[in-house]
A = this chain, B = another copy of it.
């Protein structure tokens, strides 16, 4: 799972992707898509989605804690038992301490969960790659939620992130995100050397989700 080229949808905490709405979105992806997709639901919704669809699910975040006396933390074992097959780590809206990023990657490896470390610039992308995740996702924070995709706004930085990551570890995949909303954006991301994209509002808030899904994967290959 999580094969390239990959489209990852982050449900964030949008009202448009809570509970039944998250399930509906995931079912549309399951039914309509031909490409490789993954969905990142909110924790409360993971089990419902895993029990009712086959789309790969990733947590939006896992806390760097062990089973035991912790309150209000997202435990890896619980997320996995609910159906998560991997997790985003260090999203720009959930930045983590350096040692925590490393700890979470290590725990995910021990527990056979996939890892996507998010990074806010090419240097952090390279640094993240040295921790051995499955993917690094380069997302310039200032473009997140906007109308201009990262591959249009900063193509040279996407290329630089790819180059720097591959130099540290060629086995680490690179995704990019921020502003991705259509097939052109996906295509230009792949043309710049990435293995896929992260998106959120572009699909989650769309009226006609089926059309947006078809469009997003239309220019792959």
- Seen from chain A, the residues whose Cβ lies within 8 Å of a Cβ on chain B are 10, 12-15, 18-19, 40, 42-48, 59-61, 65-75, 77-79, 81-82, 88, 90-102, 106, 119-121, 123-124, 126-132, 144-145, 164, 168, 200-201
> How many chain copies does the complex carry?
4
Contact A72 B82 (CB under 8 A): no
Q: How far is the CA of A5 from the CA of B83 in the complex (A)?
A: 37
Contact B44 A82 (CB under 8 A): yes
CB distance from A79 to the nearest CB of B (A): 6
Please give, as numbers and ranges, the residues of chain B lying within 8 Å of A12 by CB-CB distance.
68-71
Contact A44 B98 (CB under 8 A): no
Q: How far is the CA of A127 from the CA of B93 in the complex (A)?
A: 21
Of A71, A95, A127, A130, most buried by chain B (CB within 10 Å of CB) is: A71
